Amino acid sequence: MAGELVFYTHPMSRGRMVRWMLEEVGAPYRTELMAYGPSMKDGSFRAVNPLGKVPALRHGDATVTETAAICAYLADAFPEAGLAPPPGDPARAPYYRWLFFCAGPVEAAVTNKALGVVVPDDPRMRGMVGYGSLPEVLDALERAVTGVRCVAGDRFSAADLYLASHLGWGMAFGGIEKRPAFETYVAAHYGRPAAVRARAIDDALLAEPQRAGG
């Protein structure tokens, strides 16, 4: 699909994951820096993301929001970058599995921990909670990344980018406890040239005085 790539972000946001993905893809893109606060919630940006949140991506006439969806979209829109197992490849199953596991259970469990939300110790209520419990989520992730470099086949994919980002971010800010398997897995991917470039771009943007307050 042809069309300009426009990336809406803030350098201290989940947009850092999308920037890494864009750098992996290697296609030219234009960054629209958004400030936190009223301008992110105004009508013109809500036309891009109804929640008034970053990141968001426009590609020609197409608009994508939700970090995991943006990563999956880019992998499919630029197949030559080799960032997703092709349809029909058995590795597509773990690719979807870990992308969605991370966007759903991991996000919810880590956010609830940060907010101090405690799920009552009642099997009926626990059964309603999609992630079960944070320890179960982390144990599942630990099993998924132990002894492997990549979670979907033997090639780096958008699922690794998204999962490594969550683990790295979570361990850095305390939402996810440090476990050796997580650290090994994250280190294997954080050194990729595209990841290093993406961090350098966002760190430089963050260092600009007008963005220090978000």
Element (H, E) at 30: strand 30-33
Cα–Cα distance measured from residue 84 to residue 4, given in angstroms and rounded to the nearest whole number: 22
Distance of CA 52 to the CA centre of its chain: 17
**Considering CB under 6 A, how many residues would be counted as binding ligand GSH?**
9
- Residue in 8, 11, 14, 71 binding ligand GSH, rule: CB under 6 A: 14
Shortest separation between residue 114's beta carbon and ligand GSH, angstroms: 12
Per-residue x/- marks for ligand GSH, 61-100, CB under 6 A?
-----xx---------------------------------
Which one of 13, 91, 157, 198 is in contact with ligand GSH (CB under 6 A)? 13
Q: Which residues on adjacent β-strands are paired with residue 33? A: 9
End-to-end CA distance of the chain, in Å?
A: 33
> Two tokens at 15?
């947009």
Site residues (CB under 6 A) for ligand GSH, limited to 16-35: none
Closest approach of ligand GSH to the CB of residue 54, in Å: 4
d(CA 160, CA 163): 5
- At residue 136, φ and ψ (nearest 5 deg) are -65, -40
Contact with ligand GSH (CB under 6 A) among 8, 25, 48, 53: 53
**Distance in angstroms (rounded) separating the CA atoms of residues 148 and 47:** 41
User: Interface with ligand GSH by CB under 6 A: which range of 52-60, 78-86, 88-96, 189-197?
Assistant: 52-60
Q: Which is nearer to ligand GSH, 53 or 59 (CB)?
A: 53
Residue 51 CB, nearest distance to ligand GSH (Å)?
7
The type of residue at 130 is G
Binding residues for ligand GSH (CB under 6 A): 13-14, 36, 40, 53-55, 66-67
